[in-house]
Amino acid sequence: MTKHASINPFLNRELSLLAFNERVFAQAENPELPLLERIRFLCITSSNLDEFFEVRVAGLKEQLRLNPNFTDVDGYSTTEVYQLVSERARQLVQRQYQLFNRTLLPLLEKEGIFIHWQASWGEAITNWARDYFQREILPVLTPIGLDPAHPFPRVLNKSLNFAVELGGKDAFGRNSGVAIVQAPRALPRLIRLPAGLSEYPYSFVMLTSIMQVCVGDLFPGMEVHGCHQFRVTRNSDLFVDDEEITNLRVALQGELPQRHYGDAVRLEIPDNCSESMAQLLQREFALDAVDVYRVSGPVNLVRLMQLPDLIDRPELKFAPFVAGLPLELQKAKLKNSDMFKVISKQDILVHHPYQSFHPVLDFIRTAANDPQVVAIKQTIYRTGADSALMESLLHAARTGKEVTVVVELMARFDEETNINWASRLEEVGAHVVYGVVGHKTHAKMALVVRRENSGSGSGKARKLKRYVHMGTGNYHPRTASLYTDFGLFTADEDVCTDVHEVFQQLTGLGSAKKLKTLWQSPFTMHPNLIASIRNEARIAKAGKRGHIMAKMNSLLEPEIIKELYAASKAGVKIDLIVRGVCTLRPGVPGLSDNITVRSIVGRFLEHSRIFYFHNEGANDVFLSSADWMDRNFFRRVELCFPIRDVKLKKRVIEEGFKIHLRDNTLAWIMDGDGHYTHRKSRAAKVTGQLELLTQMKSS
């Protein structure tokens, strides 16, 4: 076992993130999962790796350029980290393609699902492919022959391209020998064959295969010596100078087109690509040999994500489920009562995706249609291009309600969608603000102000009453069916007052007032968490029970980690459920003996942030939009809100913690070196996500 005296107390962030992707990939390897879901997990791993290169590796390469000897808190220099990351990422990519070729493709074939590569084409498929190429592909292609008048074209980030090796001379006597063909994104990458062309019920070809067979039609009279697919991953961070901009939306609109053409960080080519072509591409994108990934198959496995949706085989997918509703909302539905009457009587907790996201949509839709509602305020981080919730806000503004929306324009990879929503909201008269420059607004909150009667009889007065929804996840209906998150509806006056104050900060100017119930980044969340951890340590030192449980996506912030180590030494039992990156070392003698870390990876993406402190039996429970990372504490606007109702506290503790601490099928246990072991037990299987699905159906 690792000894405290001989180790750095912090693990490396990039290696921890790769370890998470390895756990996702293990789902694709799992023979107990439905076959088409294994395909999805393979694609998710590839998609995660794309973002890893676009953001984390891109950052490392920039650091290598500026200061290769910089050493972070984990003790590694940038050069060392880059070498370790490159080696481990390459191993993971190799495992992906081995699984795809040796296991998943043969299993698909047994189920009558077959991807026809060129070697399996007979005359019928070849004739169909040539006809399809002429009709659907050739008209939209623009081949570029490289010569002094035709330089290497700009290649979009993650786009599919072909490098063609040619012989002979063209009509003008040119013989450059190389041409580049870019595949427009409008072209499908996976194409289903017409019935009768294959013996398999579900048969497909890849666009890559058609191109490799038919590319000669683009270069009449010349010889094609090779046609090699390739793909470039680029730095996708946007640069917006906080001190120079006067209009954040205009600044972002100017930067977004450049995202597709950032510095190259990775080149993917087929394993049979000629060495001369590989060298040419490597030079063109200014990459080193370590940045080139040779693969045995499609250069973009993410494109296979559509395969399960094209196959009507329910037995090869996860069983469908119908999300439940909290009992209070079920009763209200039967009585045809509106949500505001229900929320005014008690707080309501919803746990997605086990419980439906419709109450959140209903909350905003009801507010938009209710003549007694005078104002709606909401934060938007990610909501999707097609959103019923946003349509409700548009309707509310059109009908004269006071609508204020804080749109976070710097939500990575959702900037363009959010800009479009901001424009539409402004067109109908909504107040749209973009939060605070330099601090992303990541808090998830909605505030409804309603004019209601108070008292009874003819002298009854009308007063304003506030209702709030806060959550751990985005206002995004699609991800709410895939991510686990909690949401709280409340009319608690202290909470509503605090939420109102946070909106005032975001839309106006002035010093921050002290909030009554909420912890807020960048002001009070970090110190309040440290105070709560220290309180558990104090209690444990006094010989009483100290217990902390926390669930989050990432754990990185050094001061919090140091406090957890100190609490562990004081005797506090600490159970952490960290889905992704964790740089804390658990279970190290003399450092973190009392800390356990596990990661839950399953059908749903674990996304909830929950914090529990025993506090001498008070059982303090908080939900939050924030992970325990520097950015969440100091460079974002985040909220952490208490669960005050005793029954709801018990629900969060059971559904958020205990059921996952018992899990012995989806849980991975982390050791002090950052290695994860899949938890398996000879006892009866416990699958937390499955148990919650079963429970919530009837709740």
Q: Which residues are catalytic?
A: 442
d(Cα 245, Cα 247) in Å, to the nearest integer? 6
Computed from CA positions of residues 174, 179, 184, 188, in that sequence, does the dihedral angle turn out positive or negative?
Answer: positive
**Distance between CA atoms of 233 and 277, rounded to whole angstroms?**
18
- Paired sense of beta strands 595-600 and 573-578, if any: parallel
- Yes or no: say if 407 and 377 are a contact pair by the CB < 8 Å rule: no
Quick count: other Cβ atoms within 10 Å of Cβ 87? 10
SS3 label, residue 596:
strand
Residue 428 corresponds to which amino acid? V
Locate 451 and state its tokens.
């004019």
Q: How many CB atoms sit inside 10 A of residue 668's CB? A: 21
In DSSP terms, 228 is beta-bridged to: 163
Place of tokens 């697919």: 229
The token pair that represents 520 in the structure block: 């807020």
CA dist 65 and 358 (Å) reads: 49
Cα 627 to its chain centre, rounded Å, is: 13
Q: Provide the b/e sequence for 178-189 (b: ≥16 CB within 10 Å).
A: bbbbbbeeeeeb
Instruction: Give residue for tokens 């003698």.
Output: 589
**How many Å apart are CA 163 and CA 269, to the nearest integer?**
10
Q: 410-447 b/e with 16+ CB inside 10 Å = b? A: bbeebbebbbebbebbeeeebebbbbeeebbbbbbbbb
Give residue 75's identity as a one-letter amino acid code.
G
Q: Which of 443, 486, 445 is nearest to 466 (CA)?
A: 445
Q: Tell me the residue length of the chain.
A: 699
Q: 88-106 burial, b if ≥16 CB within 10 A, otherwise e?
A: bbeebbebbbebbeeebbe
DSSP 8-state secondary structure symbol assigned to residue 139: G
Q: Which residues pair with 468 in a beta bridge?
A: 447, 490
Pairwise CA distance, residues 593 & 597, whole Å: 11
Residue 434 CA to residue 407 CA, distance in Å, equals: 5
Tokens describing residue 481: 């069916």
